[in-house]
Chain A
Amino acid sequence: MRYILNHMVQYYQTRFDASFAALSDATRRGVLEQLGRADASITELADKFHMTLTGMKKHVGVLEQAGLVTTEKVGRVRTCRLGQRRLEEEAAWIERYRQLWASRFDELDKVVEELKRKEKIDGHKKRSERTP
C-alpha cells in the first residue's frame, strides 16, 4: 500500500507546488525561520521585516494557504505559528489512501458490470437452450 501511495504523485505535487510558491520569496522564508524560533503576531513580524501590516498579512496568507503556517486570532492579536504538520500529514495521508481505494473501486465497478452482463447473457442462453 505504502509503495502505491508513494507513487501517487499528483496529490502531493499540488501541495508541494503551493509550498514552493510560498517559499519562493525571501521574506516568507524569513518568516518561517522566525516562527521556527517562536510564535509571533503579525504586527511583530511586520516590525521585524520592516513591512506594513497589510504586506505582512499577505505573506502570512500565502504561507497559511500552503499549510506551512497557522494563525489564530485572540482578541485583537493574530498569532502565527508553524503549521501542525503532524495532523496535516495524517489528513493528507488518509485522503490519498481514500483516493487510492476510490480509483481501484471505480475499476472494480467495471469488472462487476462486465460479470453481471455475462451472467445475463449466459442466463438467456440457458433458458433458450431449454425452450428451443
Chain B
Amino acid sequence: MKNETRVDRKSERELVVTRTFNGPARIVFKAWTTPELFKQWWLPKSFGISLISYEADFRTGGTYRLVMAHPSSGQPMAFFGRYLDVTPHSRLVWTNEESGDNGAVTTVTFEDKGAATLVTIHELYPSKEALDEAMTSGATSGWDEQFRQLEEMLGTLGENGERA
C-alpha cells in the first residue's frame, strides 16, 4: 500500500509536504542526491514532461540546474538555485532562484523512524504575497485561462444583450 502524501499551508508564507518511505534515511537521501536516481522519480511519466538536463553539486554552497520541456510549451524551462545546507542523510536546503526575489527556500528533512523515513518538505516564501502569487497566477494558469474564457464568454453575452 502507498503511504499518504500530505500538504498543508502552514502559515501565510509556508507550505509543508510530508510522506513516509519504507526504507532507512540513508537510502532515501541517496535516491534524492544521486542525479541518475533523482532522474528516475522527479518527473513521473504521467506529467508528460521530459528532463533535458540536470546538474547538481550536492554540497553546501553548491548549485543545481534543472531544464525540462513539455511538448505544448515552445521553450524549455530552467530551474536553478543554490544549496544552503547539505547534511548527509538528514537535511537539504536549497533556494529556488528562477522566480527572482519571489522564490521560496526549500528545506527537506529525512528522519529515521525505525526501518522507515519521514520526509518533510518545507517551503518558505519571502512573503504572503509571494506564496499567494505562486498559488494563483502562473501556478493555476490553467484555471485562470479557463476563467478568462468563461468571463469573455459571459462578457460577450452581456454585450449582445442576449438575456434580460
Contact = CB atoms under 8 A, between A and B. Distances in A.
Contact of A98 (B7, B23, B68, B163): B7
A106 B45 CA distance: 12
Interface stretch (B52-60, B86-94, B137-145): B137-145
Q: Chain A interface residue count: which class?
A: 35 or more
B5 interface: yes
A123 interface: no
Contacts of B96: 1
A14 to B, nearest CB: 11
Interface string B1-15: 011011101000001
Contacts of A89: 135-136, 140, 143
B20 to A, nearest CB: 9
Contacts, number: 143
Nearest to A98: B7
A107 B40 CA distance: 7
A7 B19 contact: no
Interface string A65-99: 00000000000000000000110011011100110
A104 B28 CA distance: 13
Given A108-B31, A111-B37, A115-B30, A101 B17 contact: yes
A58 interface: no
A115 B31 CA distance: 8
A41 interface: no
Contact of B142 (A1, A12, A23, A98): A12
A2 B134 contact: yes
B44 A104 contact: yes
B77 A111 contact: no
A103 to B, nearest CB: 5
Nearest to A105: B19
A7 B47 contact: yes
A4 B142 CA distance: 12
Contact of B7 (A3, A94, A115): A94
Contacts of B147: 85
Given A7-B72, A36-B154, A101 B5 contact: yes
Given A2-B99, A48-B164, A94-B9, 6 more contacts: A3-B77, A4-B49, A7-B48, A29-B153, A33-B163, A115-B37
Interface of B: 2-3, 5-7, 9, 15, 17, 19, 21-23, 27-28, 30-32, 37, 40-44, 46-49, 68, 70, 72-73, 77, 79, 96, 99, 119, 121, 134-136, 138-143, 146-147, 150, 153-154, 157-158, 162-164
